[in-house]
Amino acid sequence: MLCHCTICQKFNQASHADVLVFNTRDITTPSSDYVVFKTYKAPPNVKRGSCVKCGQAAIETFSFPLLPKLTMVPAAMFAADADLPDPDAHMFYDKRVADVDDELPKHQGFIKSQLAFFKHLWF
Ligand SMILES: [Zn+2]
């Protein structure tokens, strides 16, 4: 997912986030020796973890009652030659700092962005 929301911009210090989404049960979350977690918005559905040494965006966890627990890992955290899937869509495109010229779906606004996000997980 490519997320253009203002929190992702701030957290990633970039125009948008480029994250891979995993089921949390498939991920080993690094300990607080390596990652410090912060919540940028209440309620704290998403915790965002940065490297304790360099501050780089490292991992995000999503938790909400009745929904699957998810972990997002920035594409930049993978090795340069890792075989990563192509992005599926843009979300919060209305918050973009620059237009993107690609063929991917561009979801705007909170509701449509959230629906798009969960649609990819469930179907
Ligand atoms: Zn975002």
Cα(15) to ligand 1 centroid in Å equals 10
**Taking every pair of C-alpha atoms in the chain, what is the biggest distance, in angstroms?**
40
pLDDT digits (tens, 9 = 90+) for 6-49: 999 999 999 999 999 999 999 999 999 999 999 888 777 889 99
Question: Buried b vs exposed e over 63-96: b needs ≥16 C-beta within 10 Å?
Answer: eeeeeeebbbbbeeeeeeeeeeeeeebbbbbebb
Note residues around ion ligand 1 (Cβ under 5 angstroms).
Answer: 3, 5, 8
Provide the 8-state DSSP code for 114.
Answer: H
- To the question of domain 2-122 being in CATH 3.90.1590.10, the answer is yes
Cα(5) to ligand 1 centroid in Å equals 4
Q: What is the pTM of this model?
A: 0.89
Report phi then psi at 19, rounded to 5.
-125, 150
Cα(10) to ligand 1 centroid in Å equals 9
Cα(17) to ligand 1 centroid in Å equals 7
The domain locations on the chain are 2-122
